[in-house]
Structure 1
Amino acid sequence: MESQPEHFISLPLVGKEEESPRLPLAINVVAKYWGEDLVQPDSPAQPRGAVMIDGIELAEKAGLAAYIYKGSLKNLKKRIDQGIPVIAIMPGIQDVAQHATVVSGYSVDERRILTYVPEPDTVGAVPESKFEDDWEQDDSTAIVIVPADMKELVKKEEAQFAQSNRLCFEAERLRQQGNAGKAAEILRQAAEKDPENAQAWSQLGGVYNEQGSEEAVVCYERAVKLNPKYYLAYRGLGNYFLKKQDYSLAEAYYSKAIGVNPARYGPIYKNRAVARMQLGNNAGAKGDLVKYLEQTPGAQDRKSIEDAITQI
């Protein structure tokens, strides 16, 4: 890192006392980097998963400009060299499907992407190939927040899917609030605006899935055709067919998701175990339940799963 200081942004440290239920850590860090304090400690807590668009809107109210677009490694490095940190939507771990990380630099010599870690004098370093592979699982979604007078640095031709991705984030909030009808309407607009946007199709599939509509399959399949690494679309197809009691297809799609990233989301193994038990594959089901507990150490149903493992 010392040999490549021109490719590194020093970001402010945000302590736990500065966290807010409406303000995601990643947006808090970037806003502070630009000299804006967005913390509103008295704000009511929002549902899990709905806070990203809330945080973006807080940043905009403070006079910052925000863009949500499909990025690339080349564009990410360009932003770093412009002095602009990038928020990347990445795979989660354990029982969290996604998380946002702030990219603060890159190392030319080591071919690594440097990320913000909320600890003093600490930086994460991820091999470029792994970072790119992981990022593609969420369609390389990037969030860039800059002062209004720097808006011209984010050129329209570089910000692919900016409008439709914004609609996707707004729809996710509506979905979390229980307004699936309005969320579906907005996601249909996003898909019409950018038919090549895999995120829009996957999220629309998610809304239809919750409604039990077979339209979910069409949307999810459109997403994975556009992006064969779209983990959440494969998982969504698995969930759809599990509910429809088509256990063979459920197992197949869960296996495709696991093939994309075997360590992304622990509970998927529990779901595949259900499908495998129904198919008579008890050995496979047992292995999946063991994997579920390994990857989800805080599982609330640990005792019942351990009992099930001993009985299979």
Structure 2
Amino acid sequence: MERSEHFIALPLVSKGGAVPLAIDVVAKYWGEDLKAPEWQQQNRISTLIDGIELAEKAGLACYVCKGSLKDIKKRIDQGVPPIAIMPGIQDVAQHATIVSGYDSDERRVLTYVPEPDTVGAIPEPKFEQDWEQDDSTMILLLPSDMQDLLKNDRLEFAKSNRLCLEAERLRLQGRMDAAVEKLRQATGADPENAAAWSQLGGAYNEQGSDQAVACYERAIRLNPKYYLAYRGLGNYYLKKKDYALAEAHYTKATSINPSRFGPIYKNRAIARMQLGNNAGAKQDLETYLAQTPAAADRKSIEEAISQL
């Protein structure tokens, strides 16, 4: 497709590095070649906050805030490529997508694709619908001496979203008590942040705490399209063996986005089997395999399908 006049040419960066791809690309766009610590390079384990902290050490400023399509366009026209947190596919629940431009005539958002001369073009309504599922969260990375570009902007939830990223790293390190405390700080800093409440619900869920329910429900009240909160409630009730409520919340999540996360169908199939709905369970397992082609348990799932 022809390049829009509202377009930022981003460097081509291969996948698989120790720095999160979106952070790496935007840092290189600003002339900074980020070097991850040796342990990250060896293990290929790096969270978004790890990448952000590396960028900050290199002299870039970072803000993680709630945005809008209007904000996205403003940043593009300022020459600042925003990173949007978007729904994932297959067995990835969410991912960071760089917005490289927009086409006013066709009303499309242009996104970075790590392949030569390639961009993704998403209709604006589709982009907004998908982005809303993660509370329209975006990451702005720019040189410290350009921060004046943002001085008159609200940058909603910047403090709590930063705390959420720090908490995610703690969770992956197995430091759940510390993650919960960080997320409690996040919900205290910005009580209207649906993402913070959903992540706090997730942390409580991992701990087996019934406090998870109120947190997930708070997230849904703040953002009725918050997919991960419905999925989290489904997981909570599945563990509690309340299969009817598990199925109901998984169904709500899939009604918001039927192709976001393949494994949700396997979980709903478990609930449906327990409810005696073998036909529905079979359909869910088939959908799980269709949406998760590299599923490690494919053989056992195929066997289960043959018996339903």
Evaluate the alpha carbon distance shift between residue 290 and residue 37 of structure 1 in structure 2; reply closer, same or farther with a 3 A threshold: same
The answer for the alignment partner of 2:228 in structure 1 is: 232
Over residues 119-139 of structure 1, what are the superposed CA-to-partner deviations in whole Å (9 max), with x where a residue is unaligned? 111111000111111111111
Over residues 84-121 of structure 1, what are the superposed CA-to-partner deviations in whole Å (9 max), with x where a residue is unaligned? 00001110000000111100000001100001111111
The answer for the alignment partner of 1:193 in structure 2 is: 189
Pick aligned residue for 1:242 from 238, 244, 251: 238
Counterpart-to-counterpart distance in 2, 1:157 and 1:260: 30
Evaluate the alpha carbon distance shift between residue 148 and residue 125 of structure 1 in structure 2; reply closer, same or farther with a 3 A threshold: same
Listed as ranges, the gaps of 5+ residues in structure 1 are: none
**1:14 is aligned to 2:10:** no
Pick aligned residue for 2:84 from 75, 85, 88: 88
What TM-score does the superposition give when structure 1 sets the normalisation length? 0.95
Preserved CA contact (<8 Å) 1:114 1:125: yes
Is the partner of 2:31 in helix, strand or coil?
coil
Is the partner of 1:175 in helix, strand or coil?
helix
The residue type paired with residue 187 of structure 1 is L
Alignment of 1:149-168 (within 5 A): 149-155=145-151, 157-168=153-164
The answer for the alignment partner of 2:280 in structure 1 is: 284
Evaluate the alpha carbon distance shift between residue 207 and residue 163 of structure 1 in structure 2; reply closer, same or farther with a 3 A threshold: same
Counterpart-to-counterpart distance in 2, 1:242 and 1:102: 35
Is the partner of 1:44 in helix, strand or coil?
helix
Alignment of 1:155-304 (within 5 A): 155=151, 157-304=153-300
Preserved CA contact (<8 Å) 1:20 1:39: no
Evaluate the alpha carbon distance shift between residue 137 and residue 272 of structure 1 in structure 2; reply closer, same or farther with a 3 A threshold: same
Q: List structure 1 runs of 4+ shifted beyond 4 angstroms.
A: 45-50
Is the partner of 1:297 in helix, strand or coil?
coil
Higher mean alpha-carbon deviation, 282-291 vs 47-56, is at 47-56
Over residues 51-106 of structure 1, what are the superposed CA-to-partner deviations in whole Å (9 max), with x where a residue is unaligned? 11000000000000000000100001000000000001110000000111100000
Alignment of 1:7-46 (within 5 A): 7-16=6-15, 19-21=16-18, 23-40=19-36, 42-44=38-40
Is the partner of 1:192 in helix, strand or coil?
helix
Structural RMSD (CA) = 1.6
The answer for the alignment partner of 1:121 in structure 2 is: 117
The residue type paired with residue 226 of structure 1 is L
Over residues 250-269 of structure 1, what are the superposed CA-to-partner deviations in whole Å (9 max), with x where a residue is unaligned? 00000000011000000000
Over residues 26-52 of structure 1, what are the superposed CA-to-partner deviations in whole Å (9 max), with x where a residue is unaligned? 011100110010034734359888511
Counterpart-to-counterpart distance in 1, 2:72 and 2:194: 20
What TM-score does the superposition give when structure 2 sets the normalisation length? 0.97
Q: Give the number of aligned pairs.
A: 308
Listed as ranges, the gaps of 5+ residues in structure 2 are: none
Higher mean alpha-carbon deviation, 47-56 vs 82-91, is at 47-56
Counterpart-to-counterpart distance in 1, 2:121 and 2:260: 18
